[in-house]
Structure 1
Amino acid sequence: MTPNQGCLKSFNNTCKVNTVPTRRNLFISVVSLFVIAWIVIATLAISRQPDIGVDSATELRTRLEHALNNRDSVEIEELIAYPPSDADEFAKNYIGELVRIGAHSISVTLQPSTENPSRALVEGGRSGGEVFSYLHNVRKSQGQWRIELTPPV
């Protein structure tokens, strides 16, 4: 192999290594661009997610009670900490269950206090005259009060 083999002569007669892209380099460049584009798109999608929750615990109680009594799945979706891709389906199923049991006169009480609650007690009547009640965890996260559907750790 001669010292100048694979060199291209430049205008000042210096040896310049052949810089023609190979298939491997082209493949790596294209894959790198796709990865970078995916990261940018994912970051933008996450940053555009609406904030979940409300400004105060009292507003959370009022809006949750209103949503449950009016069968408003969109409002429930805005109050629950649930993966955004599945929140709408969950909220619709939640409302569907209330409809199925004939729930009415639903009230929400924050516990242990309205200023700093950790739970929301949901109570109401069923179509057959029975009553029902259940608890949701409540949490303030990033300045927003919301319903947590996972047990506290």
Structure 2
Amino acid sequence: MGQARPVHIRRDVKVGLSIAAAVVWIGAVTLLIVHEPDPGAASPAELRDRLATALGSHDPDALGGLLDYPGSGGDDFAKDYVAVLADHGVHDVRVELGPDAAAPARATITGALGDGRPFSYPLTVTSEDGRWTVAFTPPLP
């Protein structure tokens, strides 16, 4: 009977350590989420510059940070999107905001394909809580 007590103590210590580890893990994940930067740019000009750089350098992480994308698929979308840009040799990317550069509703992306042909397309610009993002939906007129 004397050995039953140490077994219970060891079991209690293991359970206690497991619970403590779980609490620490949950706390660490919570801190990482809280400290993750908000998506988007602080101003329209920053959005324009960062978007041109992300598209021109085919950087999925930079593009993913500028997307107004529902759910958790934004990073995968950004990777696929810049892969297509790279496959087509996209270069000389420029971004113009309009109709009012200080409060834009649209970003017009222009550039050249690998064979030199120009391309252009519009994206919707969104703003929420002072953060500016782009959405890959047709812009409203």
Tell me the TM-score normalized by structure 2. Answer: 0.70
Shift of 1:149: 2.4
Aligned to 1:88: 75
Contact 2:40/2:66 (8 A) holds in 1: yes
| 3-state SS in 1 of match to 2:49 | helix
| Matched residue, 1:129 | 116
Corresponding residue SS for 1:146:
strand
C-alpha contact 2:68 2:126 (8 A) present in aligned 1: no
Could you tell me how far apart the structure 1 residues matched to 2:97 and 2:138 are? 17
Q: 5+ unaligned residues in a row in structure 1: which ranges?
A: 1-43
Question: Identity over aligned residues, as a percent?
Answer: 38
Match status 1:120 vs 2:103: no
Quote the Cα distance in structure 2 between the aligned partners of 1:152 and 1:56: 19
Give the 3 Å change call, closer, same or farther, for CA 105–152 of structure 1 in structure 2. closer
Alignment equivalent of 1:52, drawn from 34, 39, 49: 39
Find runs of 4+ consecutive structure 1 residues off by over 6 angstroms: none
Deviation sequence 1:96-141 (CA, Å, 0-9, x none):
1101111110100001121011000000001112111111000111
CA–CA separation in structure 1 for the residues paired with 2:81 and 2:71: 15
Instruction: State whether structure 2 residue 110 is matched by structure 1 residue 101.
Output: no
For the residues of structure 1 that align with 2:138 and 2:38, how far apart are their CA atoms?
Answer: 21
User: Residues of 2 paired with 1:83 and 1:123: CA distance?
Assistant: 25
Which residue does 2:131 correspond to in 1?
144
Q: Structure 1 residue 67: deviation in Å?
A: 0.7
Q: CA 1:113–1:91 in structure 2 vs 1: closer, same or farther (change >3 Å)? A: same
Look up the SS of the partner of 1:134 in the other structure.
Answer: strand
Are 2:66 and 1:79 equivalent residues in the alignment?
Answer: yes
Identify unmatched segments of 5+ residues in structure 2: 1-29
Partners of 1:67 and 1:82 lie apart in 2 by 16
Residues paired across the two proteins, number: 111
Secondary structure at the counterpart of residue 40 of structure 2: coil
Structure number, greater radius of gyration: 1
